[in-house]
């Protein structure tokens, strides 16, 4: 019990270091979600609307990638960005930028796979109407993504949930550097192993609260806008 009380105390005190960690975590994960949405949604829509040989294989592959282990993504990005790696000259390993890249790769499939399914299902309903209106391939993608927008919010939330919760990728490519690349999840891991359970618990509590708050906000927005547009 005493551990939980100290954790609460830490939050209530509004510790500056704690605030910096929370801010970085949110900045990294939200940037990754935005980037992954920009890449994953058109990609999913494209796959949902195309017909070619080997498409089923690609769909299965994409669905499997939703379960990509964060440490594997972290390792791959580490190899790419390390000094001797192909992108080593940029010198961005152990920076927040590297963390955003790793998380983006991690959640592109999590956003693209459900987008593909949603767009494909909606296309069955829209095919005749859009064909008769002479809508081109790019217009089809845009129309279906827009009309599926309420369903796609769930895909975005799944992506955000994954990004905010994972520790493996950000730990490897960020390095958990105090005051620079330390996020909530890496800090929880570190403090737990150090035996500083109050801080670990406090951070864990904040993390869960933020995830719930963002989901609640998204849910509320969805309900409200569905009422507006039907």
Partner 1 sequence: MRAPVSDLPLVLDGVSLRAGSITILDRLNLTIASGAPTLIVGPNGAGKTRLLRLCMGLDRPTAGHITWGGRADSPMARRAILFQRPVMLRRTTAANIAYALALAGIPRSERAERVGALLERVGLSDLAQRPARRLSGGEQQRLALARALARDPQILLLDEPTANLDPAATRSVEEIVQSAAESGIKIVMASHDLGQVRRLASHVIFMVRGAICEQGKAGDFLDHPTTEEAAAFVRGDLVI
Q: How far apart are CA 218 and CA 144, in angstroms?
A: 20
Site for partner 1 in 148-167 (CB under 8 A): 149-150
Q: How far apart are CA 89 and CA 164, in angstroms?
A: 28
Site string (68-107) toward partner 1, x via CB under 8 A? ----------------------------------------
State yes or no: residue 128 binds partner 1 (CB under 8 A).
Answer: yes
State yes or no: residue 224 binds partner 1 (CB under 8 A).
Answer: no
Site string (184-203) toward partner 1, x via CB under 8 A? --------------------
State yes or no: residue 129 binds partner 1 (CB under 8 A).
Answer: yes
* CA-derived radius of gyration, the chain: 20
Q: How far apart are CA 220 and CA 8, in angstroms?
A: 28
State yes or no: residue 120 binds partner 1 (CB under 8 A).
Answer: no
Alpha helix locations (H) across the chain?
2-13, 16-49, 55-65, 70-81, 96-132, 137-147, 149-165, 168-174, 184-194, 197-229
Contact in structure between 205 and 11 (CB atoms under 8 Å): yes
Contact in structure between 157 and 220 (CB atoms under 8 Å): no
Site string (28-67) toward partner 1, x via CB under 8 A? ----------------------------------------
The least CB distance from residue 224 to partner 1, in Å, is: 13
State yes or no: residue 179 binds partner 1 (CB under 8 A).
Answer: no
Contact in structure between 77 and 98 (CB atoms under 8 Å): yes
Contact in structure between 45 and 119 (CB atoms under 8 Å): yes
Binding residue for partner 1, selected from 50, 64, 131, 209, defined by CB under 8 A: 131
The least CB distance from residue 128 to partner 1, in Å, is: 6
Of the pair 54, 230, the CB lying nearest partner 1 is at 230
Residues forming contacts to partner 1 in the complex (CB under 8 A) are 125-126, 128-129, 131-135, 139, 143, 146-147, 149-150, 228-230
């Amino acid at each position: 019990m005493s551990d939980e009380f100290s954790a609460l105390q830490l939050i209530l005190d509004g510790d500056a270091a704690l605030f910096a960690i929370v801010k970085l975590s949110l900045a990294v994960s939200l940037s990754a979600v935005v980037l992954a949405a920009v890449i994953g949604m058109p990609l999913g829509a494209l796959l949902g609307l195309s017909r070619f040989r080997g498409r089923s294989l690609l769909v299965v592959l994409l669905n499997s990638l939703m379960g990509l282990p964060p440490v594997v993504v972290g390792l791959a990005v580490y190899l790419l960005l390390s000094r001797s790696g192909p992108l080593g000259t940029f010198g961005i390993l152990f920076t927040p930028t590297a963390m955003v890249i790793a998380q983006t790769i991690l959640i592109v499939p999590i956003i693209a796979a459900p987008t593909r399914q949603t767009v494909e299902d909606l296309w069955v309903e829209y095919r005749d109407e859009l064909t008769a209106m002479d809508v081109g391939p790019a217009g089809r993608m845009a129309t279906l993504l827009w009309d599926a927008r309420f369903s796609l919010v769930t895909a975005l939330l799944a992506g955000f949930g994954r990004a905010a919760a994972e520790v493996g990728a950000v730990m490897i490519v960020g390095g958990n550097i105090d005051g620079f690349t330390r996020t909530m999840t890496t800090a929880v891991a570190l403090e737990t192993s150090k035996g500083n359970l109050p801080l670990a618990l406090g951070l864990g509590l904040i993390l869960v609260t933020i995830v719930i708050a963002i989901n609640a906000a998204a849910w509320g927005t969805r309900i409200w806008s569905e009422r507006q547009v039907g």
